[in-house]
Chain A
Amino acid sequence: MKKFPLSAVALAAIVGGSAATQAAGRDTISIVGSSTVYPFATVVAERFGRSTGFNTPKIESTGSGGGLKLFCKGVGANTPDITNSSRRIKQSEFNDCQNNGVTEIVEVLVGYDGIALANARSAPKLELSLKDVYLALAKDIPGPDGKLMANPNKTWKDVNPALPATTIEVLGPPPTSGTRDAFAELAMGGGAKSIGELKALRDLSADKVAEIKAAMGKLGLPDGFYQALQDQKGKAPKGEDLFDSIAYAIREDGAYIEAGENDNLIVQKLDANPNAVGIFGFSFLEENGDKVQGSQVDGVTPTFETIASGDYPVSRPLYFYIKRAHVGKIPGIQEYAVEFTSNKAMGEDGYLPERGLIPLADEELKKVQADVKAMTPLQL
């Protein structure tokens, strides 16, 4: 026992320290959620903390899924008040919330995040169409006979003769990422739509089973696939479901490199490797203009203006969700939300757009502000 006087002192300090703050009633807002919303939420939190009498909210970066899981765990001081999300809450999560007593959730749309395709400044700027993106990155594409085959394209030139003959090498987010989902839906889906057979399949509704099966036959899909999809969904799939699963699958033969979610690293890797193309958030493109350049997609270069106006096709909404039961119980929640949605923050000249958040259109913003003021709960 006498051997460890040092640890005894340390232990004393711990017991003392924990006692000093043990019965702490929480008076600081607790926020969890998406790492994409994190850089914006923290800017708001910092200003909120510095300019008001409230404590600076604590913001954890847990990922959207983890955030919603914590958020929906229940009501009480040991659960978060707000969760950030880079996608909309899913029905299953909403149900989970309801079951755990989190009945009233306020949804706040904060703006959009552009997803940029970019390469190094030292390489020529790419001018892509969504179709090029799809043909370059899809796992399977329709072959000359109309049947799906493993993507044979090795260089950008194979995809589109106008493009340079460099190897396709794209650094992008992994399948678990919200950025990846958005990219798949907007870019890959958008590109696949420009291919006739796939577009036709997409337009078929669930009741046209025979036509769907015929379209599948033309694409060379096995019948079992329809069944599998039906089992998974629990009902007859629409043509669109089939389309989604074809279009959103990204190749895994090394052309698309799953590079983790550190966008700074992707930027630096692009700088080191002029052949590579990267997929990452617009704010990183803006901040690193000396190293990387955004590729044109369908004739539009990703800039602040083109994303805000909706001309640039690849951007996704960002949200946060407020637990209404905590409003008025934990000090500052509504004030924080008001600060976040104020013109000073989210308006066109606000400090969030300065950080690369694409602001809402005026009407959308007004509606969001009104919702925050009234704390209108979300219905799903």
Chain B
Amino acid sequence: MSKQQSLKATEAIQASLKKRYARERRFQWYGRLAVLTGFVFLFILLFDIVSKGAPAFTQHYIKVNVDLSQEVLGLDPGASEQEIFSADYLGAIKTSLREMFPGATGRKEKQQLYRLLSIGAEYDLRDKVLADPGLIGHSSELWLRAHSEAGSYLKGQVTAGTAESERKVKDLQMTWLDQLRDQGRTESRFNTTFFTEGDSREPEMAGIRVALYGSFFTLLVTFAIAFPIGVAAAVYLEEFAPRNRITDLIEININNLAAVPSIVFGLLGLAVFINFFELPRSAPLVGGIVLSLMTLPTIIITSRAAIQSVSPSIREAALGVGASKLQTVIHHVLPVAMPGILTGSIIGMAQALGESAPLLMIGMVAFIMDAPAGVTDPATVLPVQIYLWADSPERGFTEKTSAAIMVLMGFLILMNALAVYLRRRFERK
């Protein structure tokens, strides 16, 4: 090769190198852009949810001087607990409110006045009196829960700017609330009810306790079934399955199940577990089984991919020193594949955590106030609660919906954090 020719070649190479490097840089930028896109979308969604949901974590209370005399409550001295339970607390609250604002005279005005306080105020008051019967017989200044509409004014979500006919909080109520606020009779507190109560039709009394318990039990069942079975199936298919018709059948079935719409799994749950095995309706047990069948394909497919990508040299080395196939898999292949398996399982579980459609058929889309004690008690789950609240007419549920979403996402982040931790531990190998 002459010198000139090689110079030419070098030039050509250098020219092409330039192009190749430019391409390389472009390619890297595409990657950055893609990651950035993901972040932007995530940020938009999170911002939207948090800005809507944040007000739900505060609850306003109004200090009312409640007259708990025996006449008002309709109690005899020495009343039994049962009588105290069913005393006329609503009457006591109404009387006290009227005394505070004697200006409210007409029927409509009185109704508006009573609507400052939550319906739950009656029950709160009852519980307070039951806890401390000493309250009976005299008046005391008590903090009572405000109605969600009054709360929306106190939180500044509704202003006098809109015409009166277009909002639920009326002008009169606004002046009352302003007065109360000026007298220091309103207070904003952290909304513990949201975490300690079940569903309610009053936004200010609604909480996610039942849904949290339900989601926990459901996911527990799902995980206990789907993870071991999923990994076992993946191991079998990747490592042991002979190439025959049955294996093909299983393989196609698994891929196909991944594409079956989730509600069809609900139909399966209804037909098989509720109608045939007579398991209870609305129970996290059935929900968990159905969701585990639904997430199994995801776990199997991802685990298989992870096992597949384990370098054959590891297997061959293990087999070479005399390990059995099973030993090779358990001691060498699975640990290497574990990060991938965990990723798949976490994605599957996240999917199960957010799924509501199949639960509709097995009765978990329901109004339930009492928290479940086990996997066979009626319960609902977080996404269903979100769906039900999103569909409620009362405006106060808008913020509760977003707040419940925030909680759900919180759990998701926790699960992901767990996955990161586990992945790190396994990846060290």
Task: Choose, from A40-48, A181-189, A217-225, the stretch at the interface.
Answer: A40-48
Which of chain A's residues has its CB closest to B224's CB?
A: A10
CB of A194 within 8 Å of the partner chain: no
**B228 cross-chain contacts in A, Cβ below 8 A:** 4, 7
Residues of A within 8 A of B167 (CB): 289-290
Report the nearest B residue to A35, measured CB to CB: B391
**Contact indicator A58/B368 (Cβ below 8 Å):** yes
Out of A28, A43, A264, which one reaches B378, CB within 8 Å? A28
Q: Quick check: B367 and A42 within 8 Å, CB to CB?
A: yes
Bound complex: CA of A55 vs CA of B167, how far in Å? Answer: 35
Q: Are B281 and A50 in touch, CB under 8 angstroms?
A: no
Q: From residue 1 to 31 of chain A, which have CB atoms closer than 8 A to chain B?
A: 3-4, 7, 10-11, 13-14, 16-18, 20-22, 24, 28, 30
Interface segment out of the listed B38-46, B176-184, B246-254, B358-366: B358-366
With a CB–CB cut-off of 8 A, which chain A residues contact B217? 17
Binds B, one of A59-67, A155-163, A333-341: A59-67
Query: Is B366 within 8 A of A21, CB to CB?
Result: no
Query: Given A20-B374, A30-B281, A262-B390 in contact, is the A60-B366 Cβ separation under 8 Å?
Result: yes
A4 contacts B227, CB within 8 Å?
A: yes
A34 at the interface (CB under 8 A from B): no
With an 8 Å Cβ cutoff, the count of chain B residues facing the other chain is: 49
Residues from chain B with a CB closer than 8 A to the CB of A10 are 220-221, 223-224
B370 and A56 contact, CB distance less than 8 A:
yes
Is A304 part of the binding interface, using a Cβ–Cβ cutoff of 8 Å?
A: no
The reply on B132 being an interface residue by CB < 8 A is no
A80 to B221, CA, bound (A): 25
- Looking at the assembled complex, report how far the CB atom of B194 sits from the nearest CB atom of chain A, in whole angstroms: 16
> How far, in angstroms, from A279 to B217 measured CA to CA in the complex?
39
B308 at the interface (CB under 8 A from A): no
Report the minimal beta-carbon distance from B230 to chain A, rounded to whole angstroms.
11
A61 to B282, CA, bound (A): 12
Task: Find chain A residues with CB under 8 A from B166 CB.
Answer: 121, 289-290
Q: A274 in the interface, Cβ–Cβ < 8 Å?
A: no
In the complex, whether A49 has a CB less than 8 A from a CB of chain B is yes
Closest to A38 in B: B367
CB distance from B244 to the nearest CB of A (A): 27
With A7-B224, A7-B228, A289-B167 given, is the CB distance from A264 to B366 under 8 Å? no
Asked if A94 lies at the interface with its beta carbon under 8 angstroms from chain B, I say no
Contact status B366-A287, CB under 8 Å: no
Measured CB to CB, the residues of B under 8 A from A are: 86, 119, 123, 162, 165-168, 199-202, 217, 220-221, 223-224, 227-228, 278, 280-282, 285, 288, 330, 334, 360, 363, 365-370, 373-378, 388, 390-395, 398
What are some 7 contacts across the A-B interface (CB < 8 A)?
Answer: A3-B334, A7-B223, A42-B367, A56-B368, A262-B391, A283-B393, A286-B393
